Structure 1
């Protein structure tokens, strides 16, 4: 079982990866199930008989307790209990680490009580949680590496670089591919400075370090070395707060290959968008049967803690929408097999929405007339009545999600170790607020 990932050895990581893939390969059949194919492919009958017998009449709230590791008065198949225990032992812990060093060193803005909440404006609650903790970690790592420059990739509206620059006195640049976001980030800088000027002297205003915002689309890690940076960023640390898909691996490759990069702080996201360029990264994982399907990578991005809380509290009635979509899928495939996985998109629903109303809205978007055969609607209603089975199968898939995320993160960790650098992984965010809550920190000695 993982105790710490700040001093783990290369061979230990390899061992965890090998054991994890042994489990994943055994349960690929479960991970690879699409929820909307539940009735088309008869997912329920894909479960082992003992699982079907145990879970058939289970209340979803009880299942929520089981998946959360809490006791439940129900006899479960030994194969399921063994799987649950194995996943718990092999997965990287997700409970937020609270004993991290928090820096108190701030500049002219950070120490001014009248500007205490200035960095919260225009920032949503989830983002406030993330950038506050991320900025502290980046500041601490920059102090340890004596590196005062930071590049934030996928910087969006620049909330993180704004905090690092104005509060923590770091030379920063935000790299963003969307021009509109870059322009808005600059506008927010001006707005911030307008407020700051009311509370500090003009002399101190001139001493403030202002972030640079750069608009560029990255395609490979070699391109990073060609970006024109200010002289103050002759060496720098890389920061990625939930970069999408291959961007995270691209940053790791740049860290490993460029001497100018002194450290990297990376929080991954959107694993389902990874390509062969982003996974696997390590030579060891490449030597194994390390393939992860799109459905398995997609389920690894879901908020298991929030989902289990909802199940335990009985807040799962709206999960019937998954059964609605699965029942609709069977209707669509019967109409025309080419309609399989048609992009219906999200339909706003409530507990009182009928299945017929749901189908009407969906087929209107697809420009398809509603079926008139009463047998179609009769079968659809029978399918919807089995919504608990849909929730159960989805929940069982979600129980494996932490292990899939673990092998992706360990592959990245091992890649860094293979290059000869130190590396650690910490669960820095509250997983109920920010489900992708692990930060990877690597430093060039």
Structure 2
């Protein structure tokens, strides 16, 4: 057993997931086709069969249950263990408390209006919070050059460059998105020219709700290319997809990322998909010129896992510690579940939202599909818009043609279908149990990455940076070649500003940062 808290937590998670692997690996669409309800312990079945959605929300929440249900002790122990082992996700200006529908984010008052164009409020919240962290990393490391990997349409890059005055290289594998990002940059530059040039950028401490600091005319540099996780930092680019230009012989970052004499850089990826996040960590670990990395992951189901061809790097596991734990393997279904939004679903349960019936609809449809054609299992039925507002026959008539079946040849109003639809509450209860395990899978994956960096002697921490109620993938892995205490201190001070709740101002020039906030850091 490892001595580090992170090692012990990872080992405990693996043991718990092993105990409940049949639940973890189950697809809720198989609820009727494979008799998933019967797999639950009989005492759990009895309690869950009579539980109302708000009571299930209580089981998912920190309170451990709601009044009126005598939960079996084994179920309470399962729920308590799952909650205790998952990394805390509160932070980043969380508001609203337990229960209720997630509070939608507002336009960020601290983000310049030109940087809010084309950016949804959720993304505004994310780029401002991550930009704040990268600004602190820049000050602590003395690096003012940020490489934004998987930059997409460049929203984060624009904020870092125009809003914070950092030198930014935005790397995006889709050449069409890179072209869109450049077009958005040109819009900002044109508006700045109309304003006659920006006034000085830096702002000293200002009263709350003061307009955001003015912009600089410093646009990011965009590069269309994909990250090669096995190449040296100075040569990491592959041609973009779709190819918009000839393959690049050298990394256009030039000497910026070189290990010898090049300028040090910070590397970030906001919701870097699948194997892209582990690739960022590998580049940081083996490239001395990368001073720090801030990685926000997503799409865990796209991670490369064993077995892989020789020479192909794994996305999970990364660390020697997790790789050595018996039962550490995570199925595609388990990694897919880790991408679900527990807080959002808990809000739907608490409000008894009509959308809860959709899982039952899909499970009934799966049963009908297999009865009509046993060769079809888990066919890709595209999302039916506003399915919760439809009757089941209406829903099925839209879904069946998408898998090559004629709705007229499938009985949609039979007694068997009616009997399955009457078990909607059981489907909801079963899915709620699987969601209790989802944060554990995400925690294990992120701890594996943290331990990978720890094994190589780096300073690192996992920080809940965004509000999880509308940004579920809110944990950022921060790693640097310097101590992180001053970087992470006071990050929560302005966490509520994006939601318009009047949080405290960040420290102005010459001021000392607030006292360090509690973080999940190595001891």
Contact persistence 1:162–1:210 (CA under 8 A): yes
The answer for unaligned runs of 5 or more in structure 2 is 95-108, 202-214, 236-250, 258-262, 306-313, 483-523
Instruction: Output the CA distance in 1 between the equivalents of 2:197 and 2:462.
Output: 41
Aligned partner of residue 239 in structure 1, secondary structure: strand
Partner of 1:251: 280
Contact persistence 1:161–1:172 (CA under 8 A): yes
Instruction: Output the CA distance in 1 between the equivalents of 2:329 and 2:293.
Output: 26
Give the Å deviation of 1:116.
Answer: 3.2
TM-score (normalizing by structure 1) = 0.90
Pairing 1:290–2:328 present? yes
Give the Å deviation of 1:72.
Answer: 1.7
Instruction: Output the CA distance in 1 between the equivalents of 2:142 and 2:56.
Output: 49
Partner of 2:139: 143
Instruction: Output the CA distance in 2 between the equivalents of 1:258 and 1:374.
Output: 61
Give CA-to-partner distance per residue, 1:313-345, whole Å, 9 cap, x none.
Answer: 221x22212111111111111122211111111
Give the Å deviation of 1:220.
Answer: 2.1
Q: Which of 18, 31, 53 in structure 1 is aligned with 2:11?
A: 18
Instruction: Output the CA distance in 2 between the equivalents of 1:116 and 1:52.
Output: 53
Q: Which of 72, 81, 88 in structure 2 is aligned with 1:86?
A: 81
1:347-358 to 2 correspondence within 5 Å? Answer: 347-358=384-395
Contact persistence 2:163–2:216 (CA under 8 A): no
Q: Which of 77, 80, 99 in structure 1 is aligned with 2:72?
A: 77
Pairing 1:192–2:188 present? yes
Instruction: Output the CA distance in 2 between the equivalents of 1:186 and 1:156.
Output: 11
Give the Å deviation of 1:200.
Answer: 4.7
Aligned partner of residue 240 in structure 1, secondary structure: strand
Pairing 1:167–2:163 present? yes
Give the Å deviation of 1:57.
Answer: 1.2
1:243-322 to 2 correspondence within 5 Å? Answer: 243-276=272-305, 277-288=314-325, 289-315=327-353, 317-322=354-359
Aligned partner of residue 197 in structure 1, secondary structure: helix
Contact persistence 1:171–1:232 (CA under 8 A): no
Give the Å deviation of 1:377.
Answer: 2.8
Instruction: Output the CA distance in 2 between the equivalents of 1:122 and 1:350.
Output: 28
Partner of 2:206: none
Q: Which of 228, 233, 238 in structure 1 is aligned with 2:252?
A: 228
Instruction: Output the CA distance in 2 between the equivalents of 1:370 and 1:53.
Output: 35
Contact persistence 2:10–2:447 (CA under 8 A): yes
The answer for unaligned runs of 5 or more in structure 1 is 1-8, 100-112
Q: Which is helix-richer, 1 or 2? A: 1
Q: How large is the RMSD of aligned CA atoms in angstroms?
A: 2.3
Contact persistence 1:10–1:417 (CA under 8 A): no
Instruction: Output the CA distance in 2 between the equivalents of 1:196 and 1:375.
Output: 60
Partner of 1:105: none
Partner of 1:211: 220
Contact persistence 1:218–1:224 (CA under 8 A): no
Give the Å deviation of 1:89.
Answer: 1.7
Give CA-to-partner distance per residue, 1:124-165, whole Å, 9 cap, x none.
Answer: 111001001010100101110111111111100111111111
1:56-71 to 2 correspondence within 5 Å? Answer: 56-70=49-63, 71=65
Partner of 1:384: 421
> Number of residues paired by the alignment?
423
The structure-2 alpha-carbon separation of the partners of 1:298 and 1:260, relative to structure 1 and needing over 3 Å to count, comes to: same
